Amino acid sequence: MGHYYLTEWLSSTNTEEIPLHIYKVPIKEIHNRHAEGGMIAYNLRKNNDFKTLVFFDQYIASFEELESWGEQAYLSYTHKIIDPSRSIDRTLMERLIKREIEQRSDKDFILDKGIFRYKKEKPLQTREMKIFPAIHLDVTVEDTGSIVIGFEYKHLFEFNRFIISDLASVQPGTKLVDSTNKKAYEYIFKEVAAYKAGDISPYLGESVISYYQRKGQFFKLNGIDENSPVVHVESKDGKVFPYLPHLLKLRCSFDQIPNHLKNVVNKAIKLSAHEKMGNLLKAVGQLVSFIDRLTFPKKNVFAENLGYQVKYLPKPSLLFGENVITNNINSGLSKGGVYRGNVAKVSFFVDPSLQGNPNFRIQIKDFIDILSRQSDQLGVKLDISTKPIELRGQLHPKLFSSQELNYELKSLGKHFEGTIIVLGTEQSTANAYLPIKKEFGGRQDLVTQFVNFSPKLLDLSKSHYQIMNILLGIYVKSGIQPWILGESLYSDCFIGLDVSHENGKHTSGVIQVIGKDGRLIKQKSQVTSERGEIISWDSLKDILLDSIHAYQEVYGKQPKHLTIHRDGFGREDIEQAQSLLDSMNIQIDFVEVLKNNNRRMAVYEGNKWITQQGLCYLSKKERKGYLCSTNPREFVGMAQPIKIIQRTETLSFEQIMSDIYKLSFMHIHSMQKTRLPISTHYADLSSTFYNRGLLHPRSQHEHALPFV
């Protein structure tokens, strides 16, 4: 039997064994307390031989007494065992432990955005960027006084060139990094300064050159003269600094990596479970050794020793047409077709450069015939509109790459019916994707399905899965349900909630998955912009009532039990929701689904770490747990678990976990299952599409999925 690992490490040392010195300090401006407290902590470190200390709220805490205060006063002082029931005490302890590891590990690790990366380990290199393996580490002090270290293997991405090589192209708001120090500092670009490196900076009171000379950092001045440019950057707390652009590089997340680099980067960073866990445990073992106040027994990374029960959830059965029941999507569709056959109205919008090529024109006709025949076999007739014929010969051959596309699209929507299948080359559809989605989807409420056309699609022996995925996309955008669950869920109705935040805009999104069989009855994007990450009670009330009404319209009665799946941490008013539903005799559960949680699950079996689909760790007492809902091939990388937290107590936590796992098999627009339940997965997509202007605010397609 294997050992079950979670990337958390429970210390055998309790907070009762680590008294803290806690000082309450005066703060002049409460709204600016973070910056003010940070400066107080910085000065105290310098005055006290850089002892480990932290600031939070209005308190300075240290493992040792701080004797040198200089001109700084404190209002009160206590040397005590913390009270783990107080959040302030827990936070001070968490920050102190993390800070001590940071300070003591600086000979071996560079702290970069709060993440540890090896000093001596060479980064992975591509022609345009460096990829740094790194370790995320977080500390949690529980209200019992237990101390847990959480960890995850990460990668940081940094372009090779310094911004001086193309300074004119750097836009305000761009993330930059200076990794020439022991700690890598990240900034936001503001502007190119009006003065040069040899001129006096109003922010420094001296020139940038003099500043580095005074600090003895002559290596930063290599290649610099008095006429070298200076830029202004902003730190995360809003302070502006003058900087030499010779020291700054572009920083990006994986999502921001240019498309032409993603395949190369993916090959470099995708590690198997065995590789990732081996690297991770070795690094974390080294990091926790730097804090000798705590001990970490090796067995305390086992899920059972962390307080979790280990279980396996079975794959659910799925119901297709002809009453075919199987847990294999391809087999179910091939033998039974879709759950309920229907007619799908479609139009084809072909890239004019392909339409004007006689060979491509013949191939596209063959492709449409293949698509129609395959759809007939699945029980759905494609009713192909002839309206687009009106456009034949009327469109510029290079329309999809033209700067006029945005304008031309405004008059083209009337020539299409039903789901619009946009056919083009990989490059032309990439160019046209956003303009078409914004105009057709965001403004005209038209639904589009993009297809990268290639003659390879004509060989069904090689393109079967691509053809099936294209058809599934058409079906769900036409309101057709390809399959449902073949077994009942514990809850009657599921509502997925998400708040998307981009460029300062916050929008709530909602998907309702209604019925014990997981079928989609209605989806709707909430057009109300939300304040921060919290969905207001007015918005939540509307969502609840709308969902219950939709359920009643289909089933003729209200649900007995309703589950809200919240994408991320939920701070909504649960008590008001419970009160509303109590008055309607409906039970409710509120569940947080965290897709990015900096944890991994693995089984050590046969001298190898592996991941296993359906594996879950449950803490029934705390109503939280982790679920591994996928098991990708090794070249794809290690499975990423989801964290689940139940904030109510109606259904059992095991029932909550089971429902979430089953809903991850209802990824009905693709042959490939998702690791998330479709409630939060589709809510996330809908709110993101709305925020980007790709989804009409009052869309009439409430029984379809226009955002997939």
Q: Residue 312 burial (CB < 10 Å; 0-12/13-18/19+)?
A: exposed
* Residues in the chain, overall count: 708
State residue 505's pLDDT score. Answer: 55
End-to-end CA distance of the chain: 41
| 183-196 vs 109-112, strand pairing mode | parallel
Asked whether the beta carbons of 482 and 667 are under 8 A apart, the reply is: no
Angle at 433 between CA 432 and CA 438, to 5 degrees: 105
Neighbour count for residue 143 (Cβ, 10 Å): 11
Per-residue pLDDT tens for 599-609?
Answer: 999 999 999 99
Q: Residue 504 — pLDDT band, cuts 50, 70, 90?
A: low
Strand partners, 214: none
State residue 533's pLDDT score. Answer: 64
Q: Pick the range with the lowest mean pLDDT from 93-97, 603-607, 696-700.
A: 696-700
State residue 130's pLDDT score. Answer: 86
Report how far residue 587's alpha carbon sits from residue 162's, in angstroms, rounded to the nearest whole number: 58
Distances (CA, A) of 286 to 101, 109, 292, 296: 10, 10, 12, 11
Residues ≥6 apart with Cβ < 8 Å to 203: 232, 240, 241, 242
For 489-583+669-691, CATH gives 3.30.420.10
Report how far residue 45's alpha carbon sits from residue 31's, in angstroms, rounded to the nearest whole number: 23
Q: 3-class SS at 406?
A: helix
State residue 627's pLDDT score. Answer: 98
Query: Domain limits of the chain?
Result: 13-154+271-295, 155-266, 341-477, 489-583+669-691
Return the CATH fold of 341-477. Rossmann fold (3.40.50)
Residues ≥6 apart with Cβ < 8 Å to 504: none
- Which among 68-77, 498-507, 510-519 has the top mean pLDDT? 68-77
State residue 544's pLDDT score. Answer: 92
Q: Residue 503 — pLDDT band, cuts 50, 70, 90?
A: low
Residue 107, φ and ψ in degrees, nearest 5 = -80, -25
Return the CATH fold of 155-266. paz domain (2.170.260)
Asked whether the beta carbons of 81 and 45 are under 8 A apart, the reply is: no
Q: Pick the range with the lowest mean pLDDT from 117-126, 423-432, 514-523, 531-540.
A: 531-540
Report how far residue 8's alpha carbon sits from residue 602's, in angstroms, rounded to the nearest whole number: 12
Neighbour count for residue 1 (Cβ, 10 Å): 5
> Going along 34-162, which residue ranges are E strands?
53-56, 59-62, 76-80, 109-112, 115-118, 124-125, 129-141, 147-162
Q: Pick the range with the lowest mean pLDDT from 305-319, 508-522, 527-541.
A: 527-541
State residue 531's pLDDT score. Answer: 57
Report how far residue 214's alpha carbon sits from residue 642's, in angstroms, rounded to the nearest whole number: 50
State residue 433's pLDDT score. Answer: 96
How many helices and strands, by DSSP H and E, does the chain display? 15, 34
Contacts 24+ apart (CB under 8 A), 452-461: 452/424, 452/425, 452/426, 453/351, 453/354, 453/360, 453/363, 453/364, 453/367, 453/423, 453/424, 453/425, 454/425, 454/426, 455/363, 457/367, 457/370, 458/363, 458/366, 458/367, 458/370, 460/370, 460/374
Q: What is the mean pLDDT of the segment spanning 5-15?
A: 98
Q: 3-class SS at 539?
A: helix
Report how far residue 95's alpha carbon sits from residue 52's, in angstroms, rounded to the nearest whole number: 10
Report how far residue 289's alpha carbon sits from residue 81's, in angstroms, rounded to the nearest whole number: 23
Q: What is the mean pLDDT of the segment spanning 324-345?
A: 96
Per-residue pLDDT tens for 357-367?
Answer: 999 999 999 99
State residue 323's pLDDT score. Answer: 96
pLDDT for 686 beyond 70: yes
Q: What is the mean pLDDT of the segment spanning 383-409?
A: 93
State residue 123's pLDDT score. Answer: 86
pLDDT for 698 beyond 80: yes
Residue 16, φ and ψ in degrees, nearest 5 = -65, -20
Q: Residue 687 — pLDDT band, cuts 50, 70, 90?
A: confident
pLDDT for 1 beyond 70: no
Assigned token pair, 145: 């006084």
Give the residue from 457, 446, 450 showing the smallest Cα distance to 365: 457
> Going along 238-374, which residue ranges are E strands?
240-243, 249-252, 309-312, 318-319, 325-326, 342-350
State residue 527's pLDDT score. Answer: 53
State residue 530's pLDDT score. Answer: 53
Per-residue pLDDT tens for 138-154?
Answer: 999 999 999 999 999 99
Strand partners, 124: 131
Report how far Cα 272 is from the mean position of its chain's Cα atoms. 21
Give the residue from 625, 632, 509, 497 showing the smallest Cα distance to 566: 497
Name the strand (E) or helix (H) holding 279.
helix 273-288
State residue 502's pLDDT score. Answer: 59
State residue 573's pLDDT score. Answer: 79
State residue 52's pLDDT score. Answer: 95
| Pairwise pLDDT comparison (598 vs 511), residue with the higher score | 598
Q: What is the mean pLDDT of the segment spanning 554-560?
A: 92
Q: Residue 348 — pLDDT band, cuts 50, 70, 90?
A: very high
Per-residue pLDDT tens for 471-493?
Answer: 999 999 999 999 999 999 999 99
| Pairwise pLDDT comparison (622 vs 122), residue with the higher score | 622
| 20-24 vs 76-80, strand pairing mode | antiparallel
Assigned token pair, 672: 């490939």
Q: Residue 693 — pLDDT band, cuts 50, 70, 90?
A: confident
Q: Residue 688 — pLDDT band, cuts 50, 70, 90?
A: confident
Q: What amino acid occupies position 512?
A: Q
State residue 65's pLDDT score. Answer: 96
Report how far residue 330's alpha carbon sits from residue 319's, in angstroms, rounded to the nearest whole number: 12
State residue 671's pLDDT score. Answer: 95
* Two domains, one topology: 341-477 and 489-583+669-691: no
Report how far residue 143's alpha carbon sits from residue 148's, in angstroms, rounded to the nearest whole number: 12
Per-residue pLDDT tens for 258-289?
Answer: 777 777 788 778 899 999 999 999 999 999 99
In DSSP notation, 3-67 reads: EEEESEEE-S--GGG--EEEEE---S-GGGHHHHHHHHHHHHHHHTTT--EEEETTEEEESS---
| Pairwise pLDDT comparison (542 vs 316), residue with the higher score | 316
State residue 137's pLDDT score. Answer: 97
Name the strand (E) or helix (H) holding 529.
strand 520-529
Q: What is the mean pLDDT of the segment spanning 633-639?
A: 86
Per-residue pLDDT tens for 219-235?
Answer: 999 989 999 999 999 98
State residue 391's pLDDT score. Answer: 93
| Pairwise pLDDT comparison (684 vs 15), residue with the higher score | 15
Strand partners, 5: 302, 602
Percent of the chain scoring above 90 in pLDDT: 71
State residue 434's pLDDT score. Answer: 94
Helices (H), 337-457: 352-355, 358-377, 405-409, 426-436
